[in-house]
A and B are shown apart, each in its own frame.
Chain A
Amino acid sequence: MLKLHSTIAAVIFAAALITVVVRPWRLGEAWSAGAGAILMVAAGGVSLGAAASAVASEWNLFLFFLGLMLTAAVADMAGFFDWAASLAVAAAGGSGRRLLFNVLVVGTLITTFLSNDATAVILTPIVYTIATRLRLRVMPYMFAVSFIANAASMTLPISNPINVLTGDTLRAPLGVYEGHLLAASIASIAITVTVLMVVFWRTTDGTFEYDWRTSLARAGADPGFFRPVVAGMCVLAAAYVVGSALLLPLGVIAVTGGTGLLVIAVIRRKVSREHLRAHVSPALFVYIAALFILVRGVEDAGITTALISGTVARASDAASAVASGLLGSAAACNLVNNLPGMLLFISGAQAGGVPAALRLPYLLGALAGADLGPNLTPVGALSTMLWLVIVRSRGLQVSAWDFLRLGILIAPLTLLAAGVLIAISFR
């Protein structure tokens, strides 16, 4: 009976994840995951009460996502991202190479304080527009934004929603988090910047003329709106740091900050429905809730514990636990996606798949794998392959192979450096 239950849960979970990755008929991820979650409950893989509890217990993550989206939306309405990009162009002094470096710096800062998603979703089109307008090669700058969004996403607990999820599980204050991950994060950023600068040294040798004063002025066209928003974002960044140190729920801080910024936009009559629609995605909440239910289903069936204890079986000390978590989650995140991948690891570790003494190094290793591993392939290995097939069938030439070639260079280097430095931090 137990075996049948496990099989049903495993089949539903696998089918849902495959559908999420493959996206048949361009079906949104939320629909696939949502249908899987409903099936999991209907098939008895998880009770309705347990499903509700699995979702409700992660209220902090939901609030965090909402807060991030609101913050990003208002920052975009105020022209903050355009302003930051214009600053990068101004500081480049007409040099394509210096612009590449500056884009990497801006990407690092935005990822650190506003998450990797803000960098990928909002900064990318701005950088694309600037590089196109300046008649520079576009792709080096796109690669830069894409890779730095992942490479810098370990810096703070708020730099990647996965960090919040892991932080909630570990209950590790900022000092402990940074004690183990800061050096690894700095190393991964430095490696990524170095590799990209070396690889694109010749192809970014172009120069440009740019009226950065006009552009900067246009980006912050309404100082009465722009300045309070930037000030609010600085206060929010400080609140994140203090909140992480005191183990306060980051979701509450994020949503309070995001709402405060939205109030500024309302007062200044600058609320743009277009921006809100573009940045606040209700489907994402459905997707995440469904993933929690699906993972609870396989957790209750004992599958995550078995999987995770398999990956940690040979770990005898902190260093080997870091390596197991890092390699396992990097592989899982490239096969599926980093959120479901990391959820499996957290679930398995919590359910007893990892000895208590090794849980911290194992999960921090897994976190590094989930944050840095996606640099191997832009949207996960299977998704990338699928993306290639889709765009080629539409007759387009897309540079996914180019992303893969760079990822094969960057991801192993950053993972190796992070693994070694995190392992050393446990000595």
Chain B
Amino acid sequence: MRVLLVVDGLHTRDLLGSVSRTAPLTQAELWLVYVRGPGPRAGLDMVRHRPGGHPLPPGRERGLDEAESARGVEALAEAETLARPLAAAVRTKQLEGEPGRVVCDLARVEGIDLVAIRAGGRDQPPLGPRSLGPAARYIADHSPCPVLLIR
């Protein structure tokens, strides 16, 4: 069995606990996936936008890229350490793109049997409806395999 867990770098311990209680991970190959989505950067562009435009200096742009990449690497390393005792095999992958779409594509290509993701969005403020974040909603609608939404 192949289980794909979307790691957000914030709730890794809770997510792994929930998945291991729900799915037989001891027999499974666990894929830990971190996605560098474009949403936060689009939010940054929106806040920074001013008439006349102010492009980011290249050094600053590089700093943003490095920080995003390092965050993903650290999140996956932490998740891998926590997951090793729980699963038969562990694989990690950092992807880039719209989170829901790239996770569904990966699940399709790799023949994943179960996709697990935190239901709430990573960065949503605690105001208004909180049923599903955008990535979870997309995956629930488009995943080629069963989906486990974790609260």
The residues of A with any CB-CB pair to B shorter than 8 Å are 20, 28-30, 76, 117, 120-121, 124-126, 128-130, 132-133, 135, 137-140, 142-143, 145-146, 199-200, 202-203, 206, 272, 274-275, 277-279, 281-287, 337, 339, 378-379, 384, 387, 391, 395-400, 402-403, 405-406, 409
Is there an interface contact between B64 and A129, defined as CB atoms closer than 8 Å?
Answer: yes
Q: Quote the shortest CB–CB distance from A142 to chain B (angstroms).
A: 6
Is there an interface contact between B126 and A203, defined as CB atoms closer than 8 Å?
Answer: yes
Chain A residues whose C-beta falls within 8 Å of the C-beta of B50 in the assembled complex: 117, 120-121, 281, 284
Is there an interface contact between B64 and A125, defined as CB atoms closer than 8 Å?
Answer: yes
Distance A146 CA – B40 CA, assembled complex (angstroms)? 14
Q: Quote the shortest CB–CB distance from A389 to chain B (angstroms).
A: 13
Asked if B144 CB lies within 8 Å of chain A CBs, one says no
Q: Quote the shortest CB–CB distance from B107 to chain A (angstroms).
A: 18
Among A128, A133, A202, A384, the most chain B Cβ lie within 10 Å of the Cβ of A128
Is there an interface contact between A199 and B40, defined as CB atoms closer than 8 Å?
Answer: no
Distance A138 CA – B122 CA, assembled complex (angstroms)? 9
Query: Which residue of the partner chain A has the closest CB to B78?
Result: A135
Sample of 15 further A-B pairs with CB below 8 A, known A117-B50, A139-B40, A405-B125: A76-B57, A124-B47, A132-B68, A135-B74, A137-B123, A145-B47, A199-B125, A274-B58, A277-B57, A284-B52, A286-B52, A395-B98, A398-B39, A398-B43, A409-B127
Is there an interface contact between A379 and B9, defined as CB atoms closer than 8 Å?
Answer: no
Distance A282 CA – B133 CA, assembled complex (angstroms)? 40
Chain B residues whose C-beta falls within 8 Å of the C-beta of A395 in the assembled complex: 98, 101
Q: Quote the shortest CB–CB distance from A102 to chain B (angstroms).
A: 18
Q: Please provide the chain B residues from 48 to 65 with a CB less than 8 Å away from any CB of chain A in the complex.
A: 48-60, 63-64
Among A146, A279, A391, A398, the most chain B Cβ lie within 10 Å of the Cβ of A398
Query: Which residue of the partner chain B has the closest CB to A73?
Result: B57
Asked if B71 CB lies within 8 Å of chain A CBs, one says yes
Asked if B109 CB lies within 8 Å of chain A CBs, one says no
Is there an interface contact between B43 and A399, defined as CB atoms closer than 8 Å?
Answer: yes
Is there an interface contact between B46 and A203, defined as CB atoms closer than 8 Å?
Answer: no
Is there an interface contact between B124 and A399, defined as CB atoms closer than 8 Å?
Answer: yes
Is there an interface contact between A339 and B10, defined as CB atoms closer than 8 Å?
Answer: no
Is there an interface contact between B57 and A275, defined as CB atoms closer than 8 Å?
Answer: yes
3 A-B pairs with the lowest CB-CB distances in the bound complex, closest first: A284-B52, A139-B123, A281-B52
Distance A126 CA – B48 CA, assembled complex (angstroms)? 12
Query: Which residue of the partner chain A has the closest CB to B97?
Result: A395
Asked if B23 CB lies within 8 Å of chain A CBs, one says no
Chain B residues whose C-beta falls within 8 Å of the C-beta of A129 in the assembled complex: 60, 63-64, 67
Query: Which residue of the partner chain A has the closest CB to B68?
Result: A132
Among B46, B53, B55, B70, the most chain A Cβ lie within 10 Å of the Cβ of B46
Choose one: A282, A378, A405; the contact of B46 (CB below 8 Å).
A378
Q: Quote the shortest CB–CB distance from A369 to chain B (angstroms).
A: 19
A selection of 25 A-B contacts at a CB cut-off of 8 Å is: A20-B51, A30-B52, A120-B47, A121-B54, A124-B48, A125-B56, A128-B67, A132-B40, A133-B67, A133-B70, A135-B75, A138-B123, A146-B47, A277-B57, A278-B60, A281-B52, A282-B52, A284-B52, A396-B42, A397-B99, A399-B40, A399-B43, A400-B43, A402-B125, A406-B127
Chain A residues whose C-beta falls within 8 Å of the C-beta of B71 in the assembled complex: 132-133, 135
Query: Which residue of the partner chain A has the closest CB to B9?
Result: A135
Distance A120 CA – B123 CA, assembled complex (angstroms)? 19
| Per-residue A-contact encoding for B86-99, CB less than 8 Å = 1, 0 else | 00000000000011
Is there an interface contact between A397 and B98, defined as CB atoms closer than 8 Å?
Answer: yes
Distance A402 CA – B39 CA, assembled complex (angstroms)? 12
Query: Which residue of the partner chain A has the closest CB to B42?
Result: A398
Query: Which residue of the partner chain B has the closest CB to A274?
Result: B57
Chain B residues whose C-beta falls within 8 Å of the C-beta of A398 in the assembled complex: 39, 42-43, 46
Distance A63 CA – B133 CA, assembled complex (angstroms)? 46
Chain B residues whose C-beta falls within 8 Å of the C-beta of A145 in the assembled complex: 47
Q: Quote the shortest CB–CB distance from B108 to chain A (angstroms).
A: 17
Choose one: A139, A272, A285; the contact of B57 (CB below 8 Å).
A272
Query: Which residue of the partner chain B has the closest CB to A390?
Result: B42
Chain A residues whose C-beta falls within 8 Å of the C-beta of B70 in the assembled complex: 133
Whether A378 touches B47, Cβ cut-off 8 Å, given contacts A121-B54, A125-B60, A284-B52, is: yes
Is there an interface contact between A137 and B56, defined as CB atoms closer than 8 Å?
Answer: no
Chain B residues whose C-beta falls within 8 Å of the C-beta of A384 in the assembled complex: 46
Is there an interface contact between B39 and A399, defined as CB atoms closer than 8 Å?
Answer: yes
Q: Quote the shortest CB–CB distance from A131 to chain B (angstroms).
A: 9
Chain B residues whose C-beta falls within 8 Å of the C-beta of A379 in the assembled complex: 46, 49
Choose one: A128, A272, A275, A397; the contact of B64 (CB below 8 Å).
A128
| Per-residue A-contact encoding for B105-144, CB less than 8 Å = 1, 0 else | 0000000000000000011111110000011000000000
Distance A143 CA – B53 CA, assembled complex (angstroms)? 20
Query: Which residue of the partner chain B has the closest CB to A400?
Result: B46
Is there an interface contact between B68 and A137, defined as CB atoms closer than 8 Å?
Answer: no
Distance A199 CA – B123 CA, assembled complex (angstroms)? 13
Is there an interface contact between A29 and B75, defined as CB atoms closer than 8 Å?
Answer: no
Distance A125 CA – B38 CA, assembled complex (angstroms)? 14
Is there an interface contact between A279 and B54, defined as CB atoms closer than 8 Å?
Answer: yes
Is there an interface contact between A399 and B123, defined as CB atoms closer than 8 Å?
Answer: yes
Distance A283 CA – B72 CA, assembled complex (angstroms)? 37
